[in-house]
């Protein structure tokens, strides 16, 4: 497996889209299949979405790790509100995760109800919080200039700049504008999860992601 090889989740999603499924349906099917395939894993890592899974696996691979070969399954939840539904299905596997800080109380309650001791904080049981979300962490780690270079190479810089001049977005914080732009079009969030992760200096991995990889 090389750094340029598509991840299993990317291949599965592309195949379902090529078969005519809507992106919403294809994403739901990929999530369900990923959860089913995690049954034999020694460790299950929960992420809020597919883009988080892609970024995590790409950065791990760049650091010389193939998580699946280590018995680690990364399972996207399809949204933080699904964590309580997923927890009973991970069996006896060691658990870890990555979540958006705004969802912290939801994760705490769900994990506590499932029998996990959250009294010392979620990091103590392997769950690490992103300041806003993982895209925000990656954008800040890379810096606006580098991210705009990535957009330019992908042919999207002009579209991004047009968006920033629209009345609703004009004068906004550039990093927040970027997050909105990345999330605005179907499929863009998944693509930029890979592109940002590929461009990241491994000496400057965002703290929650570095902490998670260190925990695994």
Counting other chains too, the contacts that 169-173 makes at CB distance below 8 Å and 24 or more residues apart are none
What pLDDT score does 7 carry? Answer: 87
What pLDDT score does 20 carry? Answer: 92
d(CA 180, CA 110): 28
- What confidence tens digit (pLDDT) does each residue in 148-184 have? 999 999 999 998 888 888 877 676 788 888 888 888 7
Structure tokens belonging to residue 73: 């399954």
What pTM was estimated for this model as a whole? 0.91
Statement: residue 2 has pLDDT above 60: no
Q: Which residues have C-beta within 8 Å of that of residue 102, sequence separation ≥ 6? A: 132
- What confidence tens digit (pLDDT) does each residue in 7-41 have? 888 898 889 989 999 989 989 999 999 998 888 89
Statement: residue 1 has pLDDT above 70: no
d(CA 206, CA 137): 6
d(CA 74, CA 106): 20
Mean pLDDT of 80-93: 89
d(CA 22, CA 131): 31
Element of type H or E holding 25 = helix 23-37
DSSP 132: S
Share of the chain above pLDDT 70, in %: 97
What pLDDT score does 45 carry? Answer: 97
């Amino acid at each position: 497996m090389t750094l340029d090889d598509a991840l299993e989740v990317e291949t599965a999603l592309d195949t379902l889209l090529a078969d005519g499924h809507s992106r919403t349906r294809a994403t739901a099917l990929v999530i369900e299949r990923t959860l089913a395939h995690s049954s034999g894993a020694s460790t299950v890592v929960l992420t809020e979405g597919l883009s988080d899974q892609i970024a995590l696996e790409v950065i791990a691979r760049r650091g010389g790790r193939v998580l699946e070969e280590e018995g680690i399954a990364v399972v996207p939840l399809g949204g933080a509100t699904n964590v309580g539904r997923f927890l009973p299905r991970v069996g006896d596997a060691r658990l870890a995760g990555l979540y958006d800080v705004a969802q912290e109380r939801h994760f705490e309650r769900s994990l506590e109800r499932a029998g996990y001791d959250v009294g010392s904080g979620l990091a103590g049981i392997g769950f690490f919080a992103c300041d806003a979300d993982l895209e925000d962490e990656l954008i800040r780690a890379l810096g606006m200039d580098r991210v705009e270079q990535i957009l330019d190479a992908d042919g999207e810089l002009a579209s991004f700049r047009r968006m920033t001049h629209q009345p609703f977005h004009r004068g906004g914080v550039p990093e927040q504008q970027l997050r909105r732009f990345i999330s605005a079009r179907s499929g863009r969030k998944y693509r930029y999860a890979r592109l940002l992760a590929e461009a990241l200096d491994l000496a400057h991995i965002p703290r929650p992601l570095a902490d998670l990889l260190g925990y695994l």
